[in-house]
Amino acid sequence: MRAPKFRGGLGELMLERLLDDILPHQNYRLQHRFQSGEAVDAVTQIGDNLVPIDSKFPLEDFQRVLAAESDRERESRRRQFTRTVKKHIDNVTKYILPDEGTFDFALMYIPAENVYYETILRDGAEGSEVYSYALQKRVIPVSPNSFYAYLQVIILGLKGLHIEHTASEILRHLSRLQGEFEGFQEDYDTLGGHIRHAATKYDDAGRKLARFEDKLRIAAETPVEQLSEGKETADDAD
């Protein structure tokens, strides 16, 4: 824990484990790189936007505060601790890039509850100063416990987005079905018109056929002599 690089790697590892345990893999990325070439430890994706998360572990300054032997020395070291934390906050602000799809805030992950307490929750002017400074810079410090709660809120938001997306899909399907139904209804009405027209023609043809049948029957039942007489009478009239 004495080596800063090792501490940073440990903080990133703890951050990765928390994200992996709680969020679906498609909703977070590690070492997300921006156009400037800067890489943030992680981002979570909510809808179309990203929440940058960077791990900071000001352990050395925190340990100096704990090792102070007098109140005067402790206050002096606390002021130095506050300056270090503010530098970390300033460093995190460079990841707030709405033009690259981030929200207008970022999270600063402090992977130790006691360090987080000293940074944000400790009573006194210095503690409130750090918190106010962080809010002004739109950087939200989180500890393992508070970050866990924050991720639970993200999960609820993702569920809401999924429900909204599913509802939109259902509405789109219904809209397509309605269009298909209207097309089917038009075809059905056209077919019905054709059927009614065919039925009318069928009835007309039936009546004509019946009349023709009557004429054939009459002609078949009439003696040949009468047919000849009828023909002669018709010729005389001519």
Alpha helices (H) along 31-143: 59-67, 71-92, 113-116, 125-136
56: three-class secondary structure by DSSP: coil
- The residue extents of the domains of the chain are 4-142
User: Are residues 147 and 18 in contact, defined by beta-carbon separation less than 8 angstroms?
Assistant: yes
Regions of the chain short of the pLDDT cut 70: 1-11, 121-128, 157-171, 173-174, 181, 219, 223-238
Q: What is the pLDDT of residue 63?
A: 77
Tens digits of per-residue pLDDT, 106-145? Answer: 999 988 888 888 777 664 444 467 888 888 999 988 888 8
Q: Is this model's pTM higher than 0.75 or not?
A: no
Centroid of chain to Cα 218: 83
